[in-house]
């Protein structure tokens, strides 16, 4: 990959929140959820963002595309800082950057049919498309994500969790975006369904050439889909590099802890990992 195909440049991005301090006199304190995060994303690349719950992964992803406001830094999309865009520029941006959410059912409007949910981005961003053409595109997209066109008039509650997530994927892809942010997109699914959805995302990425920011707490899942992995710890980047390099030769103790927490079917290997976890806990306790 070269510098010429970089589509997103994040520089020193920070997100701070004022939270109640508690105590007798109340007041507020600053919670630094994301601290000076920087990275590049290339066209057609999948960057995995991994870390335990509460480390700032989702906050970072939402700040990058300005679903929440950042406290500082830059998020430069195709040469223009998203954090400085006006409202009309942001509306245009949404066509190129879409999002797949963690909870498949909660992210879909229960009063809309699957076809209407998938078609909605087209109505907003491509109003010139006729109703007949929209229906055709929706049916084609449903087939691409593994749903049959006869499901077009069904409501979200009539689908399984995996099928609801496929609707979310179809909705994200219908405008042919350049980037999709997958915010814990498979964590709410069963393991077997997770594998199906991940393989689907990989196939669709190859077909459409879309870039992915894939956020998850399971480094084994991220390793399967991402070319590079970025590890977040308390809102800071502690490690970033090629997936195999990060997993097979991690340089930071926190990354080692994440890898050691992944269960394996080999009892001997699992014993080794338990020893690693115990050693890291002892070292952390000593450092404290």
Give me the tens of pLDDT residue by residue for the chain, a chain 288 residues long: 556 699 999 999 999 998 887 766 667 788 899 999 999 999 999 999 999 888 899 999 999 999 999 999 999 999 999 999 998 899 889 999 999 988 888 889 999 999 999 999 999 999 999 999 999 999 999 999 999 989 999 999 999 989 999 999 999 999 999 999 999 888 878 888 888 889 999 999 999 999 999 999 888 889 989 999 999 999 999 999 999 999 999 999 899 888 887 766 556 665 666 666 676 667 656 655
Element (H, E) at 36: strand 28-42
pLDDT score at 258: 87
* CA–CA dist 39, 47 (Å, integer): 10
Q: HSE on the CB side for 11, CA within 13 Å?
A: 9
pLDDT score at 4: 62
pLDDT score at 149: 87
The H-assigned helical ranges of the chain are: 57-64, 87-96, 114-125, 131-144, 161-173, 191-208, 219-225, 243-248, 253-260, 267-287
What lies within 8 Å, CB to CB, of 127 at 6+ separation is none
* CA–CA dist 230, 219 (Å, integer): 10
* CA–CA dist 276, 28 (Å, integer): 39
Predicted TM-score (pTM) of this structure: 0.85
- Burial (CB count <10 Å: 0-12, 13-18, 19+), residue 278: exposed
State both tokens at 220: 């084994």
* CA–CA dist 143, 200 (Å, integer): 12
Measured CA angle at 225 (ends 203, 54), to 5 deg: 130
């Amino acid at each position: 990959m070269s510098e010429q195909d970089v589509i997103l440049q994040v520089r020193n991005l920070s997100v701070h929140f004022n939270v109640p301090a508690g105590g007798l006199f109340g007041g507020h304190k600053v919670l630094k959820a994301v601290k000076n995060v920087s990275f590049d994303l290339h066209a057609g690349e999948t960057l995995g963002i991994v870390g335990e719950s509460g480390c700032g992964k989702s906050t970072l992803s939402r700040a990058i595309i300005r679903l929440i406001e950042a406290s500082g830094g830059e998020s430069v999309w195709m040469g223009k800082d998203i954090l400085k865009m006006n409202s009309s520029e942001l509306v245009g941006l949404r066509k190129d950057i879409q999002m797949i959410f963690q909870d498949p059912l909660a992210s879909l409007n229960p009063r809309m049919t699957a076809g209407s949910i998938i078609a909605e981005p087209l109505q907003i961003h491509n109003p010139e498309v006729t109703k007949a053409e929209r229906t055709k595109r929706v049916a084609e997209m449903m087939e691409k994500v593994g749903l049959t066109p006869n499901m077009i008039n069904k409501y979200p509650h009539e689908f399984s969790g995996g099928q609801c997530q496929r609707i979310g994927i179809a909705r994200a892809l219908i405008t042919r975006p350049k980037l999709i942010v997958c915010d814990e997109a498979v964590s709410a699914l069963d393991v077997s369904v997770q594998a199906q959805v991940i393989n689907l995302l990989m196939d669709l990425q190859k077909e459409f050439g879309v870039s992915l920011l894939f956020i998850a707490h399971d480094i084994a899942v991220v390793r399967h889909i991402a070319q590079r992995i970025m590890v977040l710890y308390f809102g800071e980047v502690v490690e970033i590099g090629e997936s195999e390099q990060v997993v097979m030769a991690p340089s930071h103790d926190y990354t080692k802890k994440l890898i050691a927490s992944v269960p394996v079917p080999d009892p001997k290997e699992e014993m080794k990992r338990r020893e690693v976890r115990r050693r890291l806990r002892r070292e952390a306790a000593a450092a404290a």
